[in-house]
Amino acid sequence: MITLALSKGRIFEETLPLLAAAGIEVTEDPETSRKLILPTTRADVRVVLVRATDVPTYVAHGGADIGVAGKDILIEYAGDNGGNDGLYQPLDLNIAKCRMSVAVRADFDYEAAVKQGSRIRVATKYTTIAREHFANKGVHVDLIKLYGSMELAPLTGLADAIVDLVSTGNTLKANNLVEVEQIMLISSRLVVNQAALKLNREPIRALIKAFESAIPK
Ligand code: PRT
Ligand code: MG
């Protein structure tokens, strides 16, 4: 049995065409089903639904053999584990694309604050990425860890800036925030448990190959 860990929403939806390329169809809809383990049209493949942040944990510890996770999630997971996540990452799937950016309130002069060498208060869920970005720029920051709704932080005075994912930019716009820096482009990757790859080499290799053939341009 091959167990694939996916999160509901965009990653699940955008992984379906890749599964189709491997001849696999998920036979239940995660949005309406209450099941956490979904069967597929292949008796030896099942999907487990986990939180996006839990995908690397499931795969690293063998709760799943393979998984799909955003680069954002993978960098933070490695950061939380001393830089070593133990995951084999054979493919950038080029799905669930967005960018990691710095955003501030429209009336906050970010450039001036950076130039003056002021300490900047930055709220984010992505502390590893943010710490590294500002350290590389030589900017002193106080990082404030949040678990959601980062956009609220500059509006309430909790922080001067946020580091968050942006795709259309509509969420920033709706909250009077402006993107002042792009840190990196983000897409989702295939992650594989190293022991599972050794034990189950042929079927997992075949799955990786099929996924590779269907990566969107
Ligand atoms: O939502 P939940 O708390 O359950 O979990 P999650 O946010 O970790 O998962 P999910 O499914 O929302 O995101 C899974 C992965 O999709 C992320 O790890 C990213 O790699 C990728 N991805 C791609 C995104 C976005 N685009 C995205 N736009 N993840 C989140 N967003 C959010 C962003 O945080 C912001 O709040 O969408 C909002 C901005 O969108 P725009 O279009 O208004 O700019
Ligand atoms: Mg989300």
User: Tens digit of pLDDT for each residue in 45-92?
Assistant: 999 999 999 999 999 999 999 999 999 999 999 999 998 888 999 999
> What pLDDT is stored for residue 115 in this prediction?
96
Domains, the chain, in order of start with CATH, read 2-96+187-214 (3.40.190.10), 98-186 (3.40.190.10)
Ligand 1 binding pocket includes 164 (Cβ within 6 Å): yes
Ligand 1 binding pocket includes 96 (Cβ within 6 Å): yes
User: Which ligand is in closest contact with the Cα of 170?
Assistant: 1
Query: Exposed (0-12), middle (13-18) or buried (19+): which is 212, by Cβ within 10 Å?
Result: middle
CA distances to 31, 76, 134, 154, 197 from 142, rounded to whole Å, are: 38, 18, 10, 14, 41
User: Tens digit of pLDDT for each residue in 94-145?
Assistant: 999 999 999 999 999 999 999 999 999 999 999 999 999 999 999 999 999 9
To test the pocket of ligand 1, the residue of 124, 167, 185 to mutate (highest count of ligand atoms within 8 Å of its CB) is: 167
Position 19, amino acid: L
Question: Can you read off the two tokens belonging to residue 67?
Answer: 């998984």
Asked whether 194 and 215 are in contact (CB, 8 A), the reply is: no
Mean pLDDT computed over every residue of the chain: 97
> What pLDDT is stored for residue 135 in this prediction?
98
User: Which ligand is in closest contact with the Cα of 51?
Assistant: 1
User: Tens digit of pLDDT for each residue in 23-36?
Assistant: 999 999 999 999 99
Residue with tokens 């995660």: 30
Residue 13 pLDDT grade (very low, low, confident, very high; cuts 50, 70, 90): very high
Asked whether 53 and 170 are in contact (CB, 8 A), the reply is: no
Ligand 1 binding pocket includes 175 (Cβ within 6 Å): no
Position 106, amino acid: A
Query: Exposed (0-12), middle (13-18) or buried (19+): which is 162, by Cβ within 10 Å?
Result: buried
- pTM summary value: 0.97
Sign of CA dihedral 47, 50, 55, 57: negative
To test the pocket of ligand 1, the residue of 75, 147, 149, 166 to mutate (highest count of ligand atoms within 8 Å of its CB) is: 166
